[in-house]
Amino acid sequence: MSRFIDKRSILGVLFIVGSLLCGLTGLCVNSVQAIKVSRLSPVSASALAGGAVEVGSEVLVEGYIGEENEVVYPQGEFVAYLYERRRISVNDDGQPKPERWRKWEQVTPPLLLDLADGKVQVENDDYAIENLRVVEGPEMRVAGSQSHIKYSVTRYEGIAVGDPVIAVGTLRAGGEVPRIEAEFVARGTREEYIAGHRAGGIASCVGSAIVGVVGGFILLWDRIRSVWG
């Protein structure tokens, strides 16, 4: 059996294991977020203001981005956004190879949310934002590439006035306009958030499994053929 254990075989096994681990990680992360949000029922502004919820409690509020919020990126009318960049390299065949988008800047100022029965203030400026609108920068051909396909290398993702959102965080104060320190603000409804993360986790796991099995099968093909042969 030792003759089957060579460098290519080891790489094949590692490729399969690595892909499966990536898929399981994606599944776990998405599942944890979905479970967390599903266990939190939306709290009204009046309940937060009237003392029905203890200060320091974790809360979920659901509403809309209020008109009072300042637009910080006019092109997309975003009141909070991420600015991302990516590189487009060229492979040996002269074809463009887009790299992953990387966060370059985050602008997440305090936000005023309109709930069904009042307003809630997100008081911090370091919350995460999710499920965002996307505005891509100008597209251009890649220098040195033989392809005529154009790519953008910059984009903005954000939320705008009037967008439905949920916010999860810690209640810091009640009063006329309750204040929360948000962990994250996500565009869309609570139900959409839960469904999206559950689907994303499954897709990540299945996709990684397919890549791992196919890639590993290719790397191990010589060994498999010799065994079957």
Domain boundaries, given as residue ranges, for the chain: 42-200
Task: Encode pLDDT of 52-98 as tens digits.
Answer: 999 999 999 999 999 999 999 988 899 999 999 999 888 877 788 88
Over residues 36-54, the mean pLDDT reads 94
Residue 100 pLDDT > 50, yes or no?
Answer: yes
Task: Encode pLDDT of 109-153 as tens digits.
Answer: 999 999 999 999 999 999 999 999 999 999 888 777 777 888 899
Residue 9 pLDDT > 60, yes or no?
Answer: no
Over residues 195-214, the mean pLDDT reads 58
CB-based contacts of 210: which residues, under 8 Å, 6+ apart? none
Mean pLDDT of the chain: 82
Q: Which of 106-110, 147-151, 167-171 has the lowest mean pLDDT?
A: 147-151
